[in-house]
């Protein structure tokens, strides 16, 4: 005897929306130029990365170890900002504009399976902390020149960078805690057994 399959869920048909809801729903496409602009910005960062890499290669024999480290940290900084742009472009478009339909694609990002506005905010906060860490590390490397002629940083600048970095960390922790509280569902308490047995 053949078993009947359960009801299948079909995607909602939005072609028959009233004019005003259709206009409001379609307004999400106004974000498309924004994401295209971010793609162009990512191309600018690629050019910047190649420029810095060429600068490192042509001066590899004349740079000191500290100078090489600073240039490499600058390259890592560009890569992390580019990763942040990818998360905003791909995750933001998927969340707020339209589905990319990447299911089954071998290059689909792992985090895109469960992306939503809350997850995207946390990932962006962590990416910003990573970028801030690179900037702070570069500052600490050059902190030995504080007080000398030609120093790029002062003690006050280092202090403020550290405070701003800690603020980023606390903000990320706050976002994660608020998101966890929003998703918290208290466990169902077990019912107490009746003290009087049914006779």
* Mean of pLDDT over the chain: 80
pTM over 0.85? The answer is no
Q: Which of 122, 124, 114, 64 is nearest to 94 (CA)?
A: 114
Q: What is the pLDDT of residues 53-65, one digit of tens each?
A: 999 999 988 988 8
d(CA 189, CA 179): 23
Q: DSSP secondary-structure letter at 152?
A: S
Q: What is the pLDDT of residues 76-108, one digit of tens each?
A: 999 999 988 988 898 888 888 888 877 777 877
Contact at 8 Å (CB) between 122 and 172? yes
- 29-58 burial code (b ≥16 CB/10 A, e <16): eeeeeebeebeeebeeeeeebeebeeebee
Residue 39 phi/psi, 5-degree rounding, is: -65, -40
Q: What is the pLDDT of residues 130-181, one digit of tens each?
A: 888 888 888 888 777 776 776 777 888 888 989 999 999 998 888 888 877 8
């Amino acid at each position: 005897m053949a078993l009947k399959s359960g009801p299948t869920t079909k995607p909602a048909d939005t072609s028959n929306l009233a004019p005003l809801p259709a206009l409001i729903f379609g307004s999400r496409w106004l974000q498309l130029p924004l994401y295209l602009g971010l793609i162009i910005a990512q191309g600018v960062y690629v050019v910047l990365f190649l420029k810095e890499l060429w600068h490192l290669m042509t001066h590899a024999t004349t740079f000191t170890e500290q100078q090489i480290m600073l240039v490499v940290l600058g390259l890592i900084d560009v890569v992390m900002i580019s990763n942040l742009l990818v998360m905003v472009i791909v995750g933001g478009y998927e969340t707020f504009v339209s589905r990319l339909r990447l299911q089954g694609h071998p290059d689909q990002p792992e985090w895109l399976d469960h992306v939503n506005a809350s997850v995207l905010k946390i990932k962006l906060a962590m990416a910003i902390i990573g970028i801030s860490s690179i900037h702070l590390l570069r500052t600490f490397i050059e902190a030995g020149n504080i007080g000398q002629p030609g120093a790029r940083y002062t003690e006050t600048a280092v202090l403020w960078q550290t405070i701003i970095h800690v603020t980023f960390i606390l903000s990320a922790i706050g976002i994660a805690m608020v998101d966890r509280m929003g998703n918290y569902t208290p466990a169902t308490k077990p019912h107490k057994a009746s003290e009087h047995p049914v006779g």
